[in-house]
Chains A and B, each alone.
Chain A
Amino acid sequence: MSHCQPVRPRHWALATLAAAAACTLIAACGNSSAGSASSGGTVTVGESTTLSGSIAELGESGLQGVELAVADLNSHGGLLGKKIKVVSADDAATPATGAANAKNMILQDHVVALFGPVSSAVAAAEEQLAGQYKVPIFFHTSNDISLMGANFNPYAFQVVPNTDMEPRAAALYLDSEVKAGKIKTPLALGTFAPNYSFGQDSVAGFIQALKYYNVPFKIVSQQWPSLEATNISPNLSALIAAKPSVVYNAQFGGDLVTFVKQATPFGFFKKTTMLSMLNTAELAALGSQAPAGSIAYDRAPWFAMNEPGVTAFASEYHATYHQWPDTWAVLAYTSVQVWAYGVKHAGTFDAGKVSAAIAGAAIPTIRGTITIRACDHQAEIPEYVGTVASSPSSQTGFPLWTPGSAFAAPFSKIGLSCAQMKAMQK
């Protein structure tokens, strides 16, 4: 589905605006080129992501995270004495558009770092360019394992749990529920996923993970609604008719919200435990209709991470944007901190030196100290899983997770080893 969307640069207004205005007046200072460490002036970073279409919300949320992180850096004097400016553009979830945006940002805006898209296909295209032009690129939403595997290059970093870790975390949590006697085996398993690579990979990964953790199951129905399906009733009817006890749902965003709304009148959630990526935005959209008892996995749920930095960030985000941060904002904010750490420690914006300073480092962030593994530049962060609560949280006014149900699936258990990743890298 290709929308023709104009590229819309947006500039972070607060502190950076003042700096930019000052620059215009002096006229002499433009964007300093990478590597220059002299004081004063600005450097530019780019966020090309999906800002239109059905996954735009993920892109908007990530962009807001980046903008907030940059505003916070600027309010503390910027980096190496320079203020930071964010340029952004819409990739319409299309690799060619994303690559064109990234190229513009590199050649015209002279960005010193790129932050990254929603779609992994777009990310792969941008990763190649980043390697070619030697600009560090940070993926905070797109998480295909191949980005750090077959497509790995030394300037790319993955500050988000990858596609392999996610279903493993969900299966691990399910396994603990089975062992606690809350769910009966063999599972009568149904799967529901959009019919393209992300959906198919997620379902395959989940089934593999069930086998890996020895959870007995039997598949009773697999539904693959097409991406442009306007009405999922036929798929939903077929799924419900198969009477699954557990459904793995790889939808996200608005599609997942629709699924919950449509499935509820069938009495679906009374008989079936659903595992899905119900994040803050989806829970907020569902409100009192949230499916209590369903299992949710989330890459960075601010309310369940138990990190004072994240809690403070959530308050700041709420004060700025009048909504609670979705997982994408937390991850994006963290990715800017990872880059900033690299710049500070390298004492330069030079891509090679910044990348070298980040690889293998333990980096303090709002979510505590995270390590970027040297072998594949994957952040060693957990994936979170919990059970959707039946009553609203007093803080947000909509249900989050049942208190005490949050589980951080450790990287050591769900991540691939360096040897496995090295084998994927060419």
Chain B
Amino acid sequence: MHSLVLDIAGTLSAAANLFVVAAGLTLVFGAMRIINMAHGSFYMYGAFAVTTVLGVGAGWRFWLALLAGAVVAAVAGLTVEVTVIRRLYDAEHLTQLLATYAVLLIFADIGQRIWGTGYRTVNPPPVLASGISIAGGQVPRYQLFVIGVGAAVGLALWLMLARTRFGWLLRAAVQDPESVATGGTNLAWLRTGVFVIGAFLAGLGGALIAPMQSIAPGMDVSIIVSVFIVVTIGGLGSVAGAALGALLIGLAQTLGAEFFASWAASLIYLTMIVVLAIRPWGLLGVPER
């Protein structure tokens, strides 16, 4: 019983954090057909921004830091979209991939100038710092908070896509960009908007994990590997797929750690291979036309 509660909370919190980041990546791909490697940079900048705002203190500033992390990433995203991505909508996939990879490397270097090469750590706010007893097991409150944020982000994205004019335009722009443009919508700014939201989510994911991880250069590359697996499993472009993919990866990590400890890392890739063998376009994706 004890173990089950811990496992469920561990799985869900890992999944929730992956989902927040993956949702941003898959949203951008869905709307713009661009695989954005620099998504990892936005995540890292979000986490580092938290360390800057928090410094050594904690308390109420944590909530400000969380927001600042997401906003810093969104501003970085805006800059990248306007200066680089906007010129690449009609380019080959490979060109886009190389360009966004170049952006990742540049951001990594700038990041080192700003935040240095060492690692930084921050504390969760006091109210979330301790554990809480659930069914005999002690679960960290911060894990529950992360799960809550993941659920809230999922809900907000669903509302945005299904219930708002922006979401409607977005879906229309994927199907038929020309009609949307002739309808009087500024396609360029619509795309910028999506890209900024994607970056915001990456930054939020990074900010969210800051108290759980050491913040160091290199976390940009490691997250991009993980979220690529998540969105590939779920289906590129599908937000619900990203949620499902994140859950599967979280579950694979937990089951792996529990039962095949020395194979835990491979289990993630194995999950991906199995899913792609059966459904090459991902669980909730649609085959490319």
Say yes or no: A254 contacts B17, CB within 8 Å: no
Say yes or no: B119 contacts A234, CB within 8 Å: no
B143 at the interface (CB under 8 A from A): yes
B225 at the interface (CB under 8 A from A): yes
A411 at the interface (CB under 8 A from B): no
Q: State which residues 105-144 of A face B: CB under 8 Å.
A: none
Q: How far is the CA of A239 from the CA of B138 in the complex (A)?
A: 14
B157 at the interface (CB under 8 A from A): no
Say yes or no: B221 contacts A1, CB within 8 Å: yes
* Residues 216-249 of chain B, each 1 if its beta carbon lies under 8 Å from chain A, else 0: 1111011101100000000000000000000000
Q: How far is the CA of A6 from the CA of B109 in the complex (A)?
A: 9
Say yes or no: B212 contacts A262, CB within 8 Å: yes
A315 at the interface (CB under 8 A from B): no
- Provide the main secondary structure of the chain B interface: helix
CB neighbours (8 Å) of A223 from chain B are 257, 261, 264
Q: Report which of A5, A195, A240, A241 forms a contact with B265, defined as CB distance below 8 A.
A: A195
In the complex, how many angstroms separate the beta carbon of B266 from the nearest chain A beta carbon? 9
Say yes or no: B117 contacts A57, CB within 8 Å: yes
Say yes or no: A257 contacts B119, CB within 8 Å: yes
A404 at the interface (CB under 8 A from B): no
In the complex, how many angstroms separate the beta carbon of A256 from the nearest chain B beta carbon? 8
Say yes or no: B211 contacts A233, CB within 8 Å: no
In the complex, how many angstroms separate the beta carbon of A192 from the nearest chain B beta carbon? 10
Q: How far is the CA of A6 from the CA of B112 in the complex (A)?
A: 12
Interface hub of B117, B138, B226, B256 (most chain A Cβ within 10 A)? B117
B129 at the interface (CB under 8 A from A): yes
Say yes or no: B117 contacts A238, CB within 8 Å: no
B209 at the interface (CB under 8 A from A): yes
A285 at the interface (CB under 8 A from B): yes
Say yes or no: B138 contacts A267, CB within 8 Å: yes
Q: State which residues 102-120 of B face A: CB under 8 Å.
A: 105, 108-109, 112, 117-120
A54 at the interface (CB under 8 A from B): yes
CB neighbours (8 Å) of B17 from chain A are 230-231
CB neighbours (8 Å) of B261 from chain A are 221-224, 235, 238
Say yes or no: A236 contacts B10, CB within 8 Å: yes
CB neighbours (8 Å) of A57 from chain B are 117-119
Interface hub of B2, B119, B209, B217 (most chain A Cβ within 10 A)? B119
Say yes or no: A228 contacts B14, CB within 8 Å: no
Q: How far is the CA of A267 from the CA of B120 in the complex (A)?
A: 23
Q: Which residue of A lies closest to B259 (CB)?
A: A238
A52 at the interface (CB under 8 A from B): yes
CB neighbours (8 Å) of A240 from chain B are 6
CB neighbours (8 Å) of B7 from chain A are 234, 237-238, 241
Say yes or no: A54 contacts B2, CB within 8 Å: no
Q: Which residue of A lies closest to B211 (CB)?
A: A261
Say yes or no: A54 contacts B119, CB within 8 Å: yes
A426 at the interface (CB under 8 A from B): no
* Residues 405-426 of chain A, each 1 if its beta carbon lies under 8 Å from chain B, else 0: 0000000000000000000000
In the complex, how many angstroms separate the beta carbon of B105 from the nearest chain A beta carbon? 6
Q: Report which of B2, B10, B56, B214 forms a contact with A233, defined as CB distance below 8 A.
A: B10
B36 at the interface (CB under 8 A from A): no
Q: How far is the CA of A238 from the CA of B120 in the complex (A)?
A: 26
Q: Which residue of A lies closest to B118 (CB)?
A: A57
Say yes or no: B6 contacts A53, CB within 8 Å: no
In the complex, how many angstroms separate the beta carbon of A2 from the nearest chain B beta carbon? 9
B213 at the interface (CB under 8 A from A): yes
Q: State which residues 1-15 of B face A: CB under 8 Å.
A: 2-3, 6-7, 9-11, 13-14
Say yes or no: A254 contacts B130, CB within 8 Å: no
B29 at the interface (CB under 8 A from A): no
A60 at the interface (CB under 8 A from B): yes
CB neighbours (8 Å) of A285 from chain B are 119-121, 214
Q: Which residue of B lies closest to A263 (CB)?
A: B140
Complex A-B, nearest 10 residue pairs according to Cβ-Cβ distance, in ascending order: A254-B214, A254-B119, A265-B140, A241-B3, A237-B10, A226-B265, A56-B117, A234-B253, A228-B222, A238-B257
A residues apposed to B, CB below 8 Å? 1, 3-6, 51-54, 56-57, 59-60, 195, 221-226, 228-231, 233-241, 253-255, 257-258, 261-262, 265-267, 285-287, 289
B residues apposed to A, CB below 8 Å? 2-3, 6-7, 9-11, 13-14, 17-18, 56, 105, 108-109, 112, 117-121, 123, 129-131, 138-143, 209, 211-219, 221-223, 225-226, 250, 253-254, 256-258, 261-262, 264-265
| 8 extra A-B contacts, CB within 8 A, seeds A59-B117, A262-B140, A266-B6 | A228-B226, A230-B18, A230-B209, A233-B9, A237-B7, A254-B121, A265-B141, A266-B131
